Amino acid sequence: MIVLLALVLLGLGLAGDRLNDQRHQLALRAEVQSRLAELRERLNSDLVSDLQLIRGLVSVINLDPTLDQQRFEQAVQPLLGGRTHLRNVGAAPGMVIRLMAPLAGNERAIGLDYTKTPAQFEAADRARRTRQVVLAGPVPLVQGGSGLIARLPIYLRNRDGSERFWGLVSAVIDSDKLFRSAGLLDETLDIEVAIRGVDAQGAAGAVFLGRPQVFGQSPVLADMVLPQGSWQMAAVPRGGWRAHTASLWWLRAAYGLLALAVLAAFVALVRARERAEAALAASVRDVAARRQAEAELARHRDHLEEQVSQRTAQLAAAKEAAEAASVAKSLFVANLSHEIRTPLNAITGMAYLIRHAGVSAEQARRLDTLEAASRHLLQVINAILDLSKIESGRFELARQPVDPRALVDEVGQMLRDTVQARGLRWVGEVNVPPQPLLGDATRLQQALLNYAANAVRFTSTGEVVVRVRVEAESERRLCLHFEVQDTGVGIDEATLARLFNAFEQADNSSTRQHGGTGLGLVITRRLAERMGGAAGADSEPGRGSRFWFIAWLDKGRPPAADAPPPASAAPAVPRRVLVVEDDLVNRTIAAFLLQDLGHHVELAEDGAQAVAMAATTRYDLILMDVQMPHMDGLEATRRIRAAAAASEPRVLIMAITANAFDQDRQACLDAGMDDFVAKPIDPKALRERLRHWLQGG
């Protein structure tokens, strides 16, 4: 019995020891993974910022393809200051470097012909052929240190709609400075990081940061997706993985003492039973000793359970920290969207005012380029917002009537002009029995448009076919299969495998000129997954491509919706309108748009001033910005509503804001606003909303 008890105690100790080690390893790997994810996000953010600065030169060259050295340096100089990691930027029209900024110290680069420089031709030619950014390096720099070389192809649109290759923009990114700003060179880090994948070759590339041995120490791995290819990051705790917790020997000692105490108690119990086997009093003592031993074992079991609970709580805390980081990233994206939309509203508004005043044909062409770049930027913002909302769990699907045939027809109408200009044949094949369906029609159209726009963009001859058919069916739901097939250039297997990753494009430069963001395919896949389906593609170079997604829809009709608010019965024009906007440029633009429609306009610079003016003047409409100093638009709306007499007609209050999340819209409605218009303001859309509410205004 004593031997058996000793073996049981030993087994319990080993099991507890093993469980403690497993919990420790899981918690440690979770902590390393969280730290590595944080570093990867910082590195990716810094690198993307540098690449976006380089992309900005595309618009400059589009506006003036013949710019000289002086104007090129003026355009590049602002990109080299601040937090950027750029060392220099060059331009190579016709694959020969003609422009360089800064020129001092880089004079030898002028005249370099990529076609006659084997060491650089492959990357330059790949950028030209794929129409994507090519990132090479890190490589040693003549000026010292190491750098990444980003090459961006530029295609210009001819007057007949065709495109021609202008050349390349290349930039040297100081990789040492980039890694330092991302925190990867911080010697106080509690983890050790290594990165491999020179020339964006991923796991197959050489190690260029940290010790190569890190990859052989069972590291936590994370891939960082690049425009063409990737890097692989590895991390281990500084000093290597610890097999046991720091308190392990204290735990073992405590358990050993506890086991000895239990064993000693059991031995004493056995001897007591042997000495007083025939006596009743001995029996009583034996029972007491046995119960004491059982109590000791129970306390030991409880102690082990407590340790397990503590480790579980630690893992839960790590999970909560990761979720908090995701929410913080989502909030950052929302704030970034607001900060970009506000000046973008000024840019598009000023372009509208300039065009409205009358311009020459050449000025109109330049305004077309400016507005196209603004639309592209807005599409980027919207795409990033969509992706952020999906990943953070703040994305909600609508439940509204869906007509598959109408979806295909609407997408065809959106692309009609481009299809006709390229001489393509558009075919719509809808094989779905007529029946009422419910789903998010807007998101389905967005997903289908992403596919169709890509097909038209990369097909020069032939046709684009859009098909919808029934994939599966249940009693209450219907699964639809959407696909777009083209006769375009096709996609090789390696490129196809990465197209559904964020910021990946098969044709970067051309896509930018047509409004692409590199997010359309990944958003389509995420939307399909949210609708219970999936997405994918198959293609072959020279024989076209077929992109598809499936989505589940509900059968039936939606409940009867409330009728839209009736339009005002006041005279058609003019109306008295109060514009509340803290930004002078945006305030001026909004006033002009309203005056152009024949309304009388008054201006307020913040919510407090708007409340005071609304108390003394009866307005037919208040256009209210949301984020303002002193008093924001939500609080101003609540105060205006509270101060209004019950007998007064309800003043129409419409939010005009750069906040674009669904909860922002709901916050405006909860505060008492009647409608919501996002910045940048589309004059045509604003006119339609005013006509709806003011009945002829």
What mean pLDDT is predicted for residues 331-359? 65
Dist. CA 291–CA 602, nearest whole Å? 88
* Integer Cα distance of 19 and 421 in angstroms: 68
Per-residue pLDDT tens over the stretch 412-454: 988 888 899 889 999 999 999 999 999 988 889 888 988 998 8
How high is the mean pLDDT of the chain? 79
* Banded pLDDT at 695 (limits 50, 70, 90): low
DSSP assignment of 566-632 equals PPP-S-SS--EEEEE-SSHHHHHHHHHHHHHTT-EEEEESSHHHHHHHHHHS--SEEEE-SS-SSS-
Provide the b/e sequence for 567-601 (b: ≥16 CB within 10 Å).
ebeeeeeebbbbbbbbbeebbbbbbbbbeebebeb
Domains of the chain, with CATH numbers? 1-246 (3.30.450.350), 327-392 (1.10.287), 400-555 (3.30.565.10), 576-694 (3.40.50.2300)
Residue 513 — very low, low, confident or very high, per pLDDT cuts 50/70/90?
very low
pLDDT digits (tens, 9 = 90+) for 534-591: 889 998 888 899 999 999 999 987 665 444 444 444 445 688 999 998 887 778 778 8
Does the model's pTM come out above 0.75? no
> Which among 32, 42, 43 is positioned nearest to 138, based on CA atoms?
43
Q: Which residues pair with 425 in a beta bridge?
A: 463
CA distances from 469 to 435, 500, 549, 553 (A): 13, 23, 11, 13
Q: How many angstroms separate the CA atoms of 349 and 328, rounded?
A: 32
Please choose, from the candidates 508, 371, 524, 659, the residue with its C-alpha nearest in 3D space to the C-alpha of residue 52: 508
* Pairwise CA distance, residues 488 & 646, whole Å: 64
pLDDT digits (tens, 9 = 90+) for 69-107: 888 888 888 778 666 888 889 999 999 999 998 888 888
pLDDT tens track for 627-656: 888 888 899 999 998 888 766 778 999 988
Backbone φ and ψ of 175, nearest 5°: -70, -35
Q: Which of 270, 207, 269, 259 is nearest to 233 (CA)?
A: 207
**Percent of the chain residues past pLDDT 70, beyond the cut:** 73
- Predicted confidence at residue 613, as pLDDT, reads 92
More confident residue, 282 or 111: 111
- Residue 195: pLDDT above 50? yes
Q: How confident is the model at residue 305 (pLDDT cuts 50, 70, 90)?
A: confident
Alpha-carbon gap, residue 81 to 396, rounded angstroms: 41
**Rounded CA separation 89/424 (Å):** 39
Q: Are the C-beta atoms of 151 and 57 separated by less than 8 Å?
A: no
DSSP letter (8 states) at residue 87:
E
Under DSSP, is residue 143 helix (H, G, I), strand (E, B) or coil?
A: coil
Q: Which residue has the higher pLDDT, 272 or 118?
A: 118
On the question of pLDDT at 170 being above 50, the answer is: yes
Question: SS3 of 89, please?
Answer: strand
Q: In angstroms, rounded to a whole number, what is the distance separating the alpha carbons of residues 107 and 100?
A: 8
pLDDT of residue 401: 92
- Does 322 have pLDDT greater than 70? no
The pair phi, psi for residue 209, each rounded to 5°, is -145, 130
- Bridge partners, residue 604, by sequence: 580
pLDDT band at 336 (very low <50, low <70, confident <90, very high): low
